[in-house]
Amino acid sequence: MDAVEPGGVGAADTVEEEPYCLLCRAPVGIFQAHGPDYRHYKAVLTATSKPKRRKATTSPVIGWRAARETAVC
């Protein structure tokens, strides 16, 4: 996963980051069931939840921000 996550080797000492869309500030992720590309989603992701894809008018432009404890839809 180092190829798609910022940091890489030794990044454990840094702040956790998460991908988001620079255009709309919504969270984005790669979900294998939907293909290899980043997709907008809504809801909070947990070990037992399922992501809900959000219909977006554009493809996400990926940026990274400090991970939040809880996501806001």
Query: For each of the chain's 73 residues, which pLDDT tens digit applies?
Result: 445 555 555 555 567 899 999 999 988 988 888 889 999 988 677 778 777 778 888 899 999 999 875 444 4
- What is the reported pLDDT for 1? 45
- Residue 29 lies in domain: 16-66
| Token duo for residue 71 | 């996501």
Residue 71: name the closest of 24, 27, 21 by CA. Answer: 27
Query: Is 61 within a domain?
Result: yes
Number of domains composing the chain: 1
- What is the reported pLDDT for 73? 43
| Token duo for residue 59 | 């493809």
- CA-CA distance, 41 to 27, in Å (whole number)? 6
Query: Is 38 within a domain?
Result: yes
Query: Is 4 within a domain?
Result: no
Query: Is 6 within a domain?
Result: no
Query: Is 22 within a domain?
Result: yes
Query: Is 8 within a domain?
Result: no
Q: Which residue has the tokens 């907008």?
A: 40
